[in-house]
Chain A
Amino acid sequence: NAGVMQNPRHLVRRRGQEARLRCSPMKGHSHVYWYRQLPEEGLKFMVYLQKENIIDESGMPKERFSAEFPKEGPSILRIQQVVRGDSAAYFCASSSGPKGEKLFFGSGTQLSVL
């Protein structure tokens, strides 16, 4: 499967724990985007990364959230000290360039905070 791979599919954390969500882009793609879908809402842009660089993090909460896309390995979305309001579906997309028409999405990670 050469698509965008996200894991885990489901992640359960207790309040105060850390959540790490992983995204492997499509082969040949060097642009990664993270979106979050809160219950009953649409997906909302969080962050756009290229290899080793954060290009646009205007949609990221200022605290507890961070993202990286290292030279080797998947992109990681990290949420520290999770709270119940972080419960959501987190989608990753990748592209060969910063164009919406070229986005390919993964299946998402459903984070549940108890």
Chain B
Amino acid sequence: AQSVSQHNHHVILSEAASLELGCNYSYGGTVNLFWYVQYPGQHLQLLLKYFSGDPLVKGIKGFEAEFIKSKFSFNLRKPSVQWSDTAEYFCAVGPDRSNDYKLSFGAGTTVTVRA
């Protein structure tokens, strides 16, 4: 079975600081990779995804993630965070395109941005 590991449980930083959230997965085959975000009181929403092609993926709200196959990693980055980026971030992996509704999620990283 796949496992997804997010390195940090809680990250606290100031506005304008750079953010990088680590994500590693165990599955060795072809994977689909996702980052989801849940703002306080809201639903989970998709930030970005990687299926194939350019390993540097651009998402919404200035986020990007880089797929490094040799490291089984899909780290999320944002060069300059805002207070509104305070949220919980989940990395997820789907096994293949035929049934990738069975996503495996990391435990999540809570990001708190201080104004």
Contact = CB atoms under 8 A, between A and B. Distances in A.
Nearest to B34: A100
Interface in A49-67: 56, 58-59
B101 A41 contact: no
Contact of B101 (A40, A48, A108): A48
Contacts, number: 74
A111 interface: no
A69 to B, nearest CB: 14
Nearest to A41: B107
Given A101-B49, A106-B43, A43 B99 contact: no
Looking at A48, A95, A98, which has the most chain B CB atoms within 10 Å of its CB? A98
A42 interface: yes
A95 B103 CA distance: 14
B105 to A, nearest CB: 3
Interface string A93-111: 1010011110111111000
A43 B101 contact: no
Contact of A45 (B4, B90, B97, B102): B102
Contacts of A56: 99, 102
Contact of A107 (B34, B43, B101): B43
27 contacts: A3-B43, A40-B107, A41-B107, A42-B4, A42-B105, A42-B107, A42-B108, A43-B90, A43-B103, A44-B104, A44-B105, A48-B101, A56-B99, A58-B102, A95-B101, A100-B32, A100-B92, A100-B100, A101-B32, A101-B51, A104-B45, A105-B36, A105-B43, A105-B45, A106-B44, A108-B43, A108-B44
Interface pairs A-B: 3 shortest CB-CB: A42-B105, A100-B100, A105-B44
Interface of A: 3-4, 31, 33, 35, 37, 40-45, 48, 56, 58-59, 91, 93, 95, 98-101, 103-108
Interface of B: 4, 6, 32, 34, 36, 41-46, 49, 51, 90, 92, 94, 97, 99-108
